[in-house]
Structures are given as structure tokens and as C-alpha cells.
């Protein structure tokens, strides 16, 4: 499954709820304010292991709009909207965490 998260971990606990729920094959795509969790900050440890396994993506336009391109945590994969579409196709059901 594909899980999208659109809120910063400093604002809501939706990313944590998502992490508590997902199975071993799921991937996470951070969009909108969710990309704040892709920056190297005090919350980065939340997704470090998942990112190291290549299972965390962030929407490039939203990363750039928030000025965090140069501050990304390790192993975050950037995708554009076409990449977002491909992730939905590839991973089946898309769940939106808000």
C-alpha cells in the first residue's frame, strides 16, 4: 500500500499513526506540509529506518516550496507528480493520513 502524509510531525501525529499501522511492504509519500518530516530535524529518527530501506518518498515541488532541498534527511527519495502517479499505480490502495 501507499500511504500519503500531508501534515508536519510538529503539527499533528498523523505520520506516527501511519508508522504504527503500516505493514512491511508499504511505502510512505510525504506531500504538502508532510515534507517537513523529510528534513533533517529533531523528528528525523521517526522514519530513518524506513528511509534506509528505500520506502520513504517526498514530493519534490513541496520540498522546494518549503526551502528544505538542502536539508533533507538521508535516503529520502524525491518524486514529481508523475512519480506520485507511478507510486499509486505500483503500490495499490492509497491511504491518505491527515
Partner 1 sequence: MKFAIQVNEGPYQHQAADSAFQFAKAAIENGHEIMRVFFYHDGVNNASNFTLPPQDDRHVVNNWASLNIKNAEGEPELVVCVAAALRRGMLDESEATKNAIEGYNLHPAFRISGLGQLIEAGIQSDRLVVFGD
Residue ranges in contact with partner 1 by CB under 8 A: 6, 31-33, 61-62, 80-82, 84-86, 88-89, 92-94, 96, 98
Run of H or E including 29? strand 27-30
Phi, psi of 27 (to 5 degrees): -125, 160
Q: How far is the CB of 10 from partner 1 (least distance, A)?
A: 16
Q: How far is the CB of 94 from partner 1 (least distance, A)?
A: 5
Cβ proximity to partner 1, 49 vs 64, nearer residue: 64
Cβ proximity to partner 1, 75 vs 91, nearer residue: 91
Give the three-class secondary structure for 44.
coil
Cβ proximity to partner 1, 21 vs 48, nearer residue: 21
Give the span between the Cα atoms of 88 and 82, in whole angstroms: 10
Q: How far is the CB of 93 from partner 1 (least distance, A)?
A: 8
Give the span between the Cα atoms of 81 and 32, in whole angstroms: 12
Question: Would you give the distance in Å from CA 36 to the centre of its chain?
Answer: 9
Amino acid at each position: 500500500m501507499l500511504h500519503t502524509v500531508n501534515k508536519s510531525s510538529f503539527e499533528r501525529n498523523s505520520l506516527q499513526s501511519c508508522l504504527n499501522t503500516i505493514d512491511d511492504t508499504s511505502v510512505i509519500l510525504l506531500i504538502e506540509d508532510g515534507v517537513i518530516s523529510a528534513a533533517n530535524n529533531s523528528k528525523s529518527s521517526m522514519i530513518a529506518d524506513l528511509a534506509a530501506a528505500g520506502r520513504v518518498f517526498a514530493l519534490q515541488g513541496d520540498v522546494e516550496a518549503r526551502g528544505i532541498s538542502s536539508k533533507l534527511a538521508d535516503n529520502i527519495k524525491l518524486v514529481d507528480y508523475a512519480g506520485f502517479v507511478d507510486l499509486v499505480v505500483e503500490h495499490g490502495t492509497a491511504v491518505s493520513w491527515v
